[in-house]
Structure 1
């Protein structure tokens, strides 16, 4: 692993994230070597990300013409994961921009960090990037990570 992909120490502490949820791994998540495969990592992070987005933006509270989309996802694999042990996905908001925000996450298994994930989410209204609504910014701010 290069020094560029080494996460900051706060990223490896589940207490840094405001939301933590356990997810069960599945037999089908294993690769040929008996470890969690990269698709399983992505799907588990997605589940945590979706729960965060639904909490920040309740589906029935948003304007009909407002949409969000994932613009970028970066996963850093730190250690192997194993079935059947569950994982804990720790999730929070890392950055709030004008029309986007970054969800930062870490995956823990048996008390150790095995991966981190950063996802940039863009808010679009009528097909164009628009400034985030004040209410959404307040919800995002209430879910910021504590970066040490």
Structure 2
């Protein structure tokens, strides 16, 4: 992804709120690519119930960034995603953190167990986090 001019705050670096937009986009893009999320039609959706981020280096416009995503915890009704944002070709993360999706029925907004297709798609990402 490429940062946008509007991402930069008065201090000349990317505003902390924007990092969360990138993280949310990366997780949802991963779910779409895995075939387990249709933004308009999925009966079960994930709602962010907790998030945290640590910042290590500034990012600015027009930096190119890469976000890595893995699964930190695969629960019965929730998933904790972990992510790191890298600037350009840097080997060290500019920021990293996690957020937890609680999965709910879209119509009722009530908690549901993770669908088997979702669990199956995420298990390889969980194993990757143990390495």
Would you say the 8 A contact 2:48–2:99 is kept in 1?
Answer: yes
CA displacement at 1:127 relative to structure 2: 2.9
Alignment of 1:106-125 (within 5 A): 106-110=84-88, 111=90, 112-125=92-105
With a CA cutoff of 8 Å and minimum separation of 6, indicate the structure with the bigger relative contact order.
Answer: 1
In structure 1, what is the equivalent of residue 38 of structure 2?
Answer: 59
Unaligned segments of structure 1, at least 5 residues: 1-22
Q: For 1:48, what is the secondary structure of its paired residue?
A: helix
Unaligned segments of structure 2, at least 5 residues: none
TM (norm. structure 1) is: 0.74
In structure 2, what is the equivalent of residue 90 of structure 1?
Answer: 68
CA distance in 2, matches of 1:93, 1:55: 15
CA distance in 1, matches of 2:31, 2:101: 9
Q: Does 1:146 align with 2:129?
A: yes
Alignment RMSD: 1.9
Q: For 2:96, what is the secondary structure of its paired residue?
A: strand
Q: For 2:63, what is the secondary structure of its paired residue?
A: coil
CA displacement at 1:31 relative to structure 2: 1.4
Aligned pair in 2 of structure 1 residues 55, 122: CA closer, same or farther (>3 Å)?
farther
Q: For 1:50, what is the secondary structure of its paired residue?
A: helix
